[in-house]
Amino acid sequence: MLTKTTRLTLVDQVILQIEALIESGQWPVGKKIPAEPELVVELNVSRNTLREGVKALCHAGVLTTKQGDGTYVSSSSTLGAAIQRRIQKSSLLDTLEVRNALEQEAARLSAERRTEQDLEKLRFYQLECNSFAASLDIEKYAAADMKLHQTIVESTGNPMLIELYAHITEAIQESIMIYLRKKFSAVLPQNAHHPLVDAIVAQDAAAAARIVQQFMEQIKRDIEMEEI
């Protein structure tokens, strides 16, 4: 049975316009949005309508109002805000299992779709990881490790996968830091990414996914044994 279509309310329109400004990058995360009088004119709505829209986005976690200061962008989308709230309630193992699922598929797709430009970036971050491992710089190693995996995800060309992964990168990098500090306090792993990068270079999708799975299973065993 068909349902009657409904028109968007003015508040809904305000919400959509603000979300569009955020998602387009015109209002990046951390930016203070224009003052209320300016927005009333720019969006051509009443003060009350604007306040209702802003209030709804604050409730969704997209905006944050600081008393006496103004309103700031706190997330790039309602999806991102929802994911961040869920992550805060998740354990290290929960994060690892989600990472495993996303990165296995990303590795498989990357092997099939990567470009020469993608491979250049992978090799660059691979070398960075090795360099920071040699100097025992855990923070820089974790950052380079994260960039390498982000490159793999981006090389899939799948917008939804890329967006989902982007929303959990902060949690993933934090989990990497915790794991490295516990497991490799005196030495960092050298050449840890060579098998995965080699599989992607060779366009061996099955091997790339298998390498990620084996790596994640090892981390999971370490976490369970050491109670990291």
Asked if residue 3 belongs to a domain, the reply is no
Greater model confidence, 155 or 180? 155
Using the structure block, give the residue that is written with the tokens 């994060």.
95
User: What range defines the domain where residue 69 resides?
Assistant: 10-77
User: Are 133 and 181 part of one and the same domain?
Assistant: yes
148-165 pLDDT, tens digit per residue, is 999 999 999 999 899 888
User: Are 62 and 104 part of one and the same domain?
Assistant: no
Total number of domains constituting the chain: 2
What's this model's pTM, rounded to 2 decimal places? Answer: 0.69
Cα→Cα distances 177→75, 181, 221, Å: 23, 6, 17
Q: What is the CATH number of the domain that holds 57?
A: 1.10.10.10
**Is residue 72 a contact partner of residue 28, using CB atoms and an 8 Å limit?**
no
Among 42, 77, 112, which residue terminates a domain?
77
10-59 pLDDT, tens digit per residue, is 898 999 899 888 888 899 888 999 999 999 999 899 999 999 999 999 88
